[in-house]
Amino acid sequence: MTRRSVSLRLAVALAWLAAGGSAALAQTPPAGRLLASNCFQCHGTNGKGPGFDRLAGKSAAEIYDELLEMRARISRASTDIMAKHALGYTDTQLRELAQWLSTQR
């Protein structure tokens, strides 16, 4: 590659970032929203039901504590689907998920 082609590619990349960078930031979903998309089949969109336990509007601390309890009771023989789901998240992800669900009304 010539120096000119590298410079041209760099200029194009910078122009692309300048044009689309702010739009990409504006479209970033709130922390926890993407994680909560895994909950919709049982808890409804945005945690509002009509499935199992309604999650929307519960306090973030309550949701987080429940997820930690579920994760703690996992065992090899466990068939508890929520325990297995909770096991798949880090503590930070569980906090983000709980915070986002708590803001849903």
Residues 65 and 96 in one domain: yes
Q: Give dist(CA 85, CA 74) in Å, integer.
A: 10
The arithmetic mean of pLDDT across residues 77-83, rounded, is 74
Can you say whether residue 45 is alpha, beta or left, with left for phi > 0 and alpha for psi between -120 and 50 degrees? beta
Residues 86 and 46 in one domain: yes
Q: Are 100 and 29 in contact (CB under 8 A)?
A: no
- pLDDT grade, residue 34 (50/70/90)? confident
Q: Looking at per-residue confidence, does 76 or 90 come out higher?
A: 90
- Quote the pLDDT of residue 42: 83
The arithmetic mean of pLDDT across residues 5-34, rounded, is 67
Residues 36 and 83 in one domain: yes
Residues 20 and 48 in one domain: no
Report whether pLDDT(59) > 90: yes
Question: pLDDT per residue over 81-102, tens digit each?
Answer: 888 888 889 999 999 999 988 9
Number of domains in the chain: 2
Q: Give dist(CA 89, CA 97) in Å, integer.
A: 9
CATH number of the CATH domain containing 38: 1.10.760.10
Residues 41 and 23 in one domain: no
pTM of the full predicted structure? 0.65
Structural domain for 63, as ranges: 31-102
Residues 17 and 62 in one domain: no
